[in-house]
Amino acid sequence: MTRRGKRFPAGRPVLTVLAALGTLAGAALTGAAPVAAAPQAARVAPGVTYEELDIPAAKGTAHAHVLRVDLRDPRVRLGLLHPAAVAAREPVSKLADVQGAVAGINGDFFNISEAQHPGVEATGAPVGPAIAEGRTLKAAVPVGQRFGPALPPGTTSEEVLGVGADRRARLDRLVLDGGVRAPEGRLPLGGLNQYALPVGSVGAFTSAWGAASRVRATCGTDTDRAAPCSTDTHEVTVRGGRVVGAADVPGAGAVAPGTTVLVGREAGAQWLRKLAVGERVGVRYRLVAAASRIPYRFALGGYPVLADGRPLPGLDGNVSAVRTAVGVADGGRRVVLLALDGAPAYRTGLTIAEVASTLQSLGAEDGFSLDGGGSTTIAVREPGAAGVTVRNHPTDGAERPVANGIGVFSGR
């Protein structure tokens, strides 16, 4: 296939440009398949274009919505779309409008259901690490506690797509490095604002978590998300460097600024029980990047599907679905945001292996898969409009509230 002067190897999906929707108005949420309107990409903002593509795939044609973002343009940037709390969900369009983005897509997989734990609240919190405007929001849950499809071999729940202070996008892995210091000794921190903690660990919850119950953090195991909740739990509230409260059952309600709630399970709970009210306690945490020494301005979780121009080994080539993904090109200077359409005519979607090949065909060197299915959403603001409009047809018939997303921001 030849497109824009670039020839791609045989075997990759053939991408047919259908519509850029020069006015960016048209098919959004009408229930019908998107209609062709213009043969070239539409300008959304400086350094940002939007187009639609047909992708012939193994199980039928998929329809894709594509945002191309040129980070070489100083007026454009990417950032984390997120609710006011880690344990909360909002539709992509609302997050984009509240934060002033010109476009956005949905992001990480999240704690969507707790049917396996009757009476336990689903938190809505995302699976992987999250950084917003340089501020660490959370770390990753254990692999066995993930929601979403199986990870490609050799990857973990700590995988992220991020943009550094150098304005370059990259794939990386962010690992929690933290600890609790008390007169009784020191203990490594097992989690930060996570809906699931490793067995036997202590996790920290800050004001970024929100008001959701912290009980879910002590349910399941490192290998079985549906395992029962632990019966050996304890939490300690720390304010001003001292213990100010304790309870045997993790609580709920907003964590005040300057306060940290430590939640322990099994061995972690037993360690916390040694701490007395009034005792001095120090808590530290940070996310450490495996590959980059450049501080991240934003990052969110998912999993890699393409690295150095090649699909990762072991990608699933059987299960097709509506998908959301991101491609990174030109050494991180350009980004492609991809969201498939959920209209009935296109709902067969793509396999993960086809997603990787599609990102290749769009010029990406690295690729990253995000949440899909009913979560897949792409929203774009028409030039001059007051807010964004959803451009794809979500499979549920309406936007699903999600944990976070990628926002495209323009200083014009």
Q: What is the pLDDT of residues 113-159, one digit of tens each?
A: 999 999 999 999 999 999 999 999 999 999 999 999 999 999 999 99
Q: Is 111 exposed, middle or buried (0-12, 13-18, 19+ CB in 10 A)?
A: buried
Q: Which residues contact 10 (CB under 8 A, 6 or more apart)?
A: none
φ, ψ of residue 361 to 5 degrees: the values are -65, -25
Q: How far apart are CA 341 and CA 54, in angstroms?
A: 10
Per residue in 319-330, pLDDT (tens digit) is 999 999 999 999
Check the CA dihedral 135-138-139-143 and report its sign.
negative
Task: Quote the pLDDT of residue 163.
Answer: 98
Mean pLDDT within 330-339: 98
Residue 397 pLDDT more than 60? yes
Is-contact 160 301, C-beta < 8 A?
A: yes
Task: Quote the pLDDT of residue 15.
Answer: 55
Of 36-40, 93-97, 241-245, give the lowest mean pLDDT range: 36-40
Residue 314 pLDDT more than 50? yes
Helix (H, G, I), strand (E, B) or coil at 197: coil
Angle at 240 between CA 234 and CA 244, to 5 degrees: 35
Q: Which residues contact 115 (CB under 8 A, 6 or more apart)?
A: none
Average pLDDT across the chain, whole number: 91
Mean pLDDT within 333-338: 98
Q: How far apart are CA 289 and CA 83, in angstroms?
A: 24
Mean pLDDT within 159-187: 97
Residue 412, number of CB atoms within 10 A of its CB: 8
Task: Quote the pLDDT of residue 151.
Answer: 97
Mean pLDDT within 230-258: 98
Distances (CA, A) of 51 to 35, 38, 48, 58, 87: 12, 9, 10, 23, 33
Mean pLDDT within 87-104: 98
User: Tell me, what amino acid is at 80?
Assistant: L
DSSP state of 216: G
Is-contact 194 130, C-beta < 8 A?
A: no
Q: Is 113 exposed, middle or buried (0-12, 13-18, 19+ CB in 10 A)?
A: exposed
Q: Provide the strand spans (E) within 11-88.
A: 16-19, 42-45, 48-57, 60-70, 76-81
Residue 7 pLDDT more than 60? no
Structure tokens at 411: 């200083």
Per residue in 347-359, pLDDT (tens digit) is 999 999 999 999 9
Distances (CA, A) of 289 to 176, 177, 294, 298: 9, 10, 9, 12
Angle at 112 between CA 110 and CA 117, to 5 degrees: 120
Task: Quote the pLDDT of residue 215.
Answer: 98
Task: Quote the pLDDT of residue 344.
Answer: 95
Is-contact 328 169, C-beta < 8 A?
A: yes
Percent of the chain with pLDDT strictly greater than 90: 89
Q: How far apart are CA 97 and CA 263, in angstroms?
A: 35
Q: How far apart are CA 381 and CA 369, in angstroms?
A: 24
Residue 50 pLDDT more than 60? yes
Is-contact 41 20, C-beta < 8 A?
A: yes
Confidence of residue 41 (pLDDT cuts 50, 70, 90): confident
Is-contact 121 223, C-beta < 8 A?
A: no
The candidate with the shortest Cα–Cα distance to 43, out of 67, 62, 77, is 67
Task: Quote the pLDDT of residue 28.
Answer: 39
Percent of the chain with pLDDT strictly greater than 70: 90
End-to-end CA distance of the chain: 35
Task: Quote the pLDDT of residue 39.
Answer: 44
Per residue in 280-303, pLDDT (tens digit) is 999 999 999 999 999 999 999 999
Tokens 């150098």 locate to 166
Helix (H, G, I), strand (E, B) or coil at 353: helix
Confidence of residue 412 (pLDDT cuts 50, 70, 90): low
Structure tokens at 399: 């936007």
Residue 241 pLDDT more than 90? yes
Residue 42 pLDDT more than 50? yes
